[in-house]
Amino acid sequence: MLAGKGEAVSKEQVPKLDSWQAIAFGQASGVFPDGREIVRYNLPERWMLVKDPKIGSEKRIEIRFRSGGASISTIAPGPDGKIYGSTSHPMHFFAYDPSPRVLNDFGPVKKIGGGNICAMASQGQYLVGPSYSSGYFHLFDTTRPFDQQSETSPNPRIIAQFEGDVTRPRTCLAHPDGEHVLMAGFMGYGMTGGGIGIVNLKTGEKTLLTHEQVIPFHSTHTLKALPNGDLVGGTSVLTPGGGHAREKEGVLYIMDWKTKKVIFRTVPVPGAEEVYSLEVGPDGLVYGIASGSRFFVFDPGKRSIEHSEDLSSYGSLVRPSLAAGPGGTVYVVLSASILQIKGKNFVVEKIAESPVPITAGLAVKDGWLYFASNAHLWRYRLPGA
Whether pLDDT at 28 is above 70: no
Q: Is the pLDDT of residue 38 over 80?
A: yes
All residues at 6 or more sequence positions from 385 whose CB lies less than 8 Å from its CB, including other chains: 366, 367, 368
pLDDT of residue 23: 61
CB 166 within 8 A of CB 185: yes
The pLDDT of residue 24 is 62
pLDDT of residue 220: 98
Contacts of residue 54, defined as CB under 8 A and 6 or more positions apart, other chains included, come to 35
The b/e string for 310-322 (b: 16+ C-beta within 10 A; e otherwise) is ebeebbebbbbbb
pLDDT score at 27: 66
pLDDT per residue over 173-199, tens digit each?
Answer: 999 999 999 999 999 999 999 999 999
Beta bridge partners of 324: 330
pLDDT at 97: 98
* Low-confidence winner among 14-18, 87-91, 92-96, 205-209 (lowest mean pLDDT): 14-18
* In the predicted structure, residue 120 carries a pLDDT above the cut 80: yes
Residue 268: name the closest of 238, 303, 230 by CA: 303
This prediction's pTM: 0.89
For the chain, where do the domains classified as CATH 2.130.10.10 start and end?
Answer: 87-381
Question: What value does the mean pLDDT take over residues 320-325?
Answer: 96
Residues 121-131 have pLDDT tens digits of 999 999 999 99
Judge whether residue 29 has pLDDT over 90.
no
Of 21-25, 171-175, 242-246, 248-252, the one with minimum mean pLDDT is 21-25
Kindly state the average pLDDT of the residues 328-339.
Answer: 96
Name 307's bridge partners: 297
Q: By C-alpha distance, which of 98, 126, 134, 66 is closest to 375?
A: 66
Is the pLDDT at 114 greater than 60? The verdict is: yes
Does pLDDT of 45 surpass 90? no
Neighbours of 336 (CB within 10 A): 18
Give the dihedral of Cα atoms 248, 252, 257, 261; nearest 10 deg: -40
Q: How confident is the model at residue 3 (pLDDT cuts 50, 70, 90)?
A: low
Lowest mean pLDDT among 28-42, 50-64, 175-189, 253-267: 28-42
Cβ(68)–Cβ(74) below 8 Å: no
3-state secondary structure the chain: CECCECCCCCHHHCCCHHHCCCCCCCCCCEECCCCCEEEEEECCCCEEEEEECCCCEEEEEECCCCCCCCCEEEEEECCCCCEEEEECCCCCEEEEECCCCEEEEEECCCCCCCCEECCCEEECCEEEEEEECCCEEEEEECCCCCECCCCCCCECEEEEECCCCCCEEEEEEECCCCCEEEEEEECCCCCCCCCEEEEECCCCCEEEECCCCCCCCCEEEEEEECCCCCEEEEEECCCCCCCCCCCCCCCEEEEECCCCEEEEEECCCCCCCEEEEEEECCCCCEEEEECCCEEEEEECCCCEEEEEEECHHHCCCCCCCEEECHHHCEEEEECCEEEEEECCCCEEEEEEECCCCCCEEEEEECCEEEEEECCEEEEEECCCC
Q: What is the mean pLDDT of residues 18-23?
A: 55
What's the pLDDT score for residue 11?
Answer: 81
Q: Of 17-21, 113-117, 346-350, which one has max mean pLDDT?
A: 346-350
Report the topology of domain 87-381.
Methylamine Dehydrogenase; Chain H (2.130.10)
Q: Which amino acid is at 61?
A: I
pLDDT at 99: 92
The rounded mean pLDDT for the chain is 94
pLDDT one-digit tens code per residue, 71-109: 999 999 999 999 999 999 889 999 999 999 999 999 999
Q: What is the mean pLDDT of residues 35-47?
A: 87
Least trusted range by pLDDT, from 1-5, 38-42, 112-116, 373-377:
1-5
